[in-house]
Amino acid sequence: MSKGIDPDTLELPDDLFYDYFPKFRDSFCFLSGPSFAKEILEEQITLVSLAGRSYYNLFKVAEMLQTSYFRCLPTYDVKGVLLGGALKNILAIAAGIIEGLGYNHNTRAAMITRGIVEMRRFGVVFNARPETFYGLSGMGDLILTSTGGLSRNKLFGLEIAKGRSAEEIIKSQRTVVEGYKTTKAAYLLSQKYQIKSRIFVGLYKVLYKGVDPSQTIAAVMKSPITFELQP
């Protein structure tokens, strides 16, 4: 349940836990997926991904957590699940900015689908399974955080669209906006590994360089035409 990418080492949570507790690698399970805590407390039906290395431990933990309204689906793709849980927060900020600027369903749908394509490119670097990004911890979580009214990252994006600076918003909030620091980490990863990621890089420039969001969107729309399923 620890999400994000370390902006200094560019490591994911599993790297840190495995380094500190090498004898317990098979005991770690990583839970992520479309799940607002408030709705879980209201017993809304919720499905999430549970990633780990051990078949036995994955199913044991899944059984321990299962209720009539909450269910975990096991997977071995730890990196894919962790990347989805981290990168979707960045795209949720983008969704908030898009909505705040007056764009509607067409634009949001475009951002979500192209965002998943870019997420998959990060997955290649970490040897994640491509199909994971179309599952609960990828597309599922992204749809929730990009459209739901309870998303802190989306609300952060809405404030950015009003012209407020990222630093000002962060200082005024008591809750954590995970996507803010993760945006920097994703940008550094894209530069280190030459990952083609216009949305992630564009949002970094908005949050950390003060670039006008409208200019960023215009630049993306003027980019060269490429095949949709280009790797």
Residues acting as catalytic residues: 88
CA distance 135 to 129: 11
Alpha carbons within 13 angstroms on the beta-carbon side of residue 25 total 10
Instruction: Order across the sheet with 29-32: list the strands.
Output: 29-32, 46-52, 70-75
d(CA 17, CA 22): 8
> CB-based contacts of 24: which residues, under 8 Å, 6+ apart?
none
- Which are the contacts of 156, defined by CB distance < 8 A and separation ≥ 6? 93, 96, 166, 169, 173, 177, 179, 180
Structure token pair of residue 218? 């215009």
Return the CA Rg of the chain: 17
